[in-house]
Amino acid sequence: MIILDTCALIYDALTPERLSKKAARIIEEEGGRLACSDISLWEVAMLIAKGRLDPGTDTLSFIRLALAARPIQVIPITPEIAALSATHDGFSHFDPADRLIAATTLQCRGKLVTCDQHLHKVKGLPVIW
């Protein structure tokens, strides 16, 4: 399973040229096996609410369109993901959303598509960029 970080989800939907060539290829090839953590939906909504992201439509429409375009499965925060996000010794920073996205990827035994350098440093986390 390929997990899209929030940045990858946004880039794929709005500015695919910002994806690395490898990330774009993986997203295209893995079309039916794409997912994201549910916390990424909240991050997108917050970016739009704060005016840091303008998708050209309302928040709900953008999120629905982005998820349907590939389609992308939304993975909920499970007790296992919550516990792993709080206890994994490889998390070097304290961003709760990043911890949940990394834990989701680890729990699902997936690979994470992200440009976030903090996530590239998480021990045992397979990252594509």
Q: Please write the tens of the pLDDT for every residue from 85-128.
A: 999 988 777 799 999 999 999 999 999 999 999 899 888 999 99
Q: What is the CATH number of the domain that holds 53?
A: 3.40.50.1010
Sheet of 111-113, strand order: 72-75, 34-37, 2-4, 111-113, 127-128
Sequence letter at residue 86 = A
Longest Cα separation, the chain: 40
Q: Please write the tens of the pLDDT for every residue from 14-68.
A: 999 999 999 999 999 987 799 999 999 999 999 999 999 999 999 999 999 999 9
**Number of structural domains the chain divides into:** 1
Rounded Cα gap, residues 6 and 101, in angstroms: 9
Main-chain phi, psi angles of 127, to 5 degrees: -120, 140
Domain residues for 82? 2-128
